[in-house]
Structure 1
Amino acid sequence: AEARAHLECRVVETVAAGNGTIVVGEVTHISVDPSVWRDGRVDPELLDPVCRLAGTRYARLGEVFQLPRPSWERDVRGTAPGEALPRLEA
């Protein structure tokens, strides 16, 4: 099956990390199948993405739900480094 959305990138930097490599890239092109587009955005339920876990293991997205996005002013400013942020409720 062909991906319904993909990013083309150029390699900016590679960083050795333990027994692996972190690849930092710059997105140069985005392609999205119109069938997954709704109201000017990619709809994750229409996209039905496959998620890479580790090794040969993959998963489907499953249930989709919404949480409010954290706000710097409301949730972060004034917290000490390493201090836990308040939990956001669904």
Structure 2
Amino acid sequence: MEFTISALERQEKYKLLIGCIIPRPIAWVTSMDASGLVNAAPFSYFNVASIEPMMVSVAVMRRPGGERKDTARNIGETGEFVVNMVDVHNVDVVNLTSADYPPDVSEAEALGLELLPAARVKVPRLGASRIHFECRLQQIVELGSPVSSDLIIGEVVHVHVEDALYQMGKIDAAAFAPVSRLAGHSYATLGEMFDRPRPVYDPLRNRK
């Protein structure tokens, strides 16, 4: 099967992308508007962007007509956000925050989510998460013409990890039990894990 992208409708492109690029980690983002209203929303167009400086990226699709979603607007205005990681223990409430709440309604308040203070930013963390990345906005890259997505790149300035998840200098993946997004309404857990050591190039062995 081959696809000519110019011949595809938007929904066809969407289904192709989210069906092929799986599993996707989920950023449960808290942001805050100028009045202090806390927004909480999940985004699965999320990943590591840089190690030094430590950065993550979150792509937030715009609403029909090009209007920024609350998360992108808040981050653009305040320059701060927190990525709260998603696991088997909080995925149900994470899903509830994906509803299309009005801009003047806080998902955190409406759902009774526990808010915890951050160490380096004003935006609070979510108590339902066990790993948090406090971020300051590095840049927003507007994608598309007309603009259809805001690629948010944030510098991580502080990290919180529950003690039980950090063993011998690394995250215990089994204890973390992260949840990822697939296509449609589907999510996935880690499942079977296996190792493949990275090979070392040997010029003698590879000589022809």
Alignment partners' CA distance in 2, 1:65 and 1:14: 36
In 1, the alpha carbon distance for the partners of 2:136 and 2:184 equals 24
- Provide the C-alpha distance between the structure 1 equivalents of 2:183 and 2:165, rounded to a whole number of angstroms: 26
1:12-23 pair list within 5 angstroms: 12-18=138-144, 19-23=148-152
Residue 47, structure 1, aligned to residue 173, structure 2: no
CA contact (8 A) 1:45 1:64 kept: no
Map residues 43-82 of structure 1 onto 2, 5 A cutoff: 43-53=172-182, 57-69=186-198, 74=201
What do residues 14-50 of structure 1 show as CA deviations (whole Å, max 9, x unaligned)?
0012321111110011000011121121111110012
Name the structure 2 match of 1:85: none
C-alpha distance in 2 between matches for 1:53 and 1:46: 21
Q: Distance in 2 between matches of 1:13 and 1:66?
A: 35
Partner in structure 2 of residue 82 of structure 1: none
Moved >6 Å (runs of 4+): none
| More strand per residue | 1
Letter in 2 for 1:33: E
Indicate the percent of aligned positions where both proteins have the same amino acid: 41
Q: What is the TM-score normalised by the length of structure 1?
A: 0.65
Deviation of 1:67 after TM superposition, in Å, equals 2.0
Provide closer, same or farther for how the CA distance between residues 5 and 66 of structure 1 changes in structure 2, counting only shifts above 3 A: same
Distance 2:183 2:138 in 1: 24
Unaligned stretches of 5+ residues in structure 1: 76-90
Where is the helix percentage greater, Structure 1 or Structure 2? 2
- State whether residues 50 and 60 of structure 1, in contact with CA within 8 Å, keep that contact through their aligned partners in structure 2: yes
How much is the aligned-residue C-alpha RMSD, in angstroms? 2.4
Which residue of 2 is the match for residue 6 of structure 1? Answer: 132
Alignment CA distance shift 1:28-1:55 (3 Å): farther
Amino acid across the alignment from 1:58: Y
Pair 17,55 (structure 1): closer, same or farther in 2 beyond 3 Å: farther
Aligned to 2:174, the other structure's residue is in SS state: helix
What is the TM-score with the length of structure 2 in the denominator? 0.31
User: Cα 1:32–1:51, aligned 2, differ >3 Å: closer, same or farther?
Assistant: same
Instruction: Say which one has the larger Rg.
Output: 2
